[in-house]
Amino acid sequence: AARQAGDIPDALLLLEHPPVYTKGRRTEKADLPMGDDWYRAQGIEVVDTSRGGRVTYHGPGQLVGYPIMRIGDVIAYVRTLERAVIAALAEEGIHATVREGLTGIWTNDRKIGSIGVHVSRGVTMHGLAVNVDCDLQPFEWIVPCGIDG
């Protein structure tokens, strides 16, 4: 609300979450085939969010960024986030790309970065996640971002 009112400048929050599955607005029941209680028994919280997309995992070893900023064009903003992650990975010697028709960042045919945003009154919420050095097992227990395999 403070950013929407212009009371604070744009900000970027960078953090690492404890294990959690976040459900985007388009998440389907089949995206979490074991059921929420099973995931919680594994020590992974399951949380509904207002962001776009479907379910994804956040946890230790993953860099999560939440830009809070005023934007105009949502699609252009998402593509800018993709390019920024690709550029940052390139600086670390990692070649990454986008895939036609999908949102996110891939390297060696594996998804390394996800983007899920929500815009309210022109201000962004939610953001991006990049797998840096995380346990990938929790991704195998779901249909991440609605993408099988």
Q: Any catalytic annotation for residue 145?
A: yes
- Burial string for 61-82 (b: 16+ CB within 10 Å, else e) reads ebbbbbbbbebeeeeebbeebb
| Whether 112 contacts 62, CB under 8 Å | no
Q: How many CA atoms lie within 13 A of 33 on its CB side?
A: 9
Please choose, from the candidates 54, 21, 24, the residue with its C-alpha nearest in 3D space to the C-alpha of residue 35.
21
Q: Which amino acid is at 47?
A: V
Measured distance CA(53)–CA(131) in Å, rounded: 18
Task: Give residue 138's Cα distance to chain centre.
Answer: 15
The catalytically annotated residue of 60, 145, 146, 149 is 145
Catalytic positions, please? 145
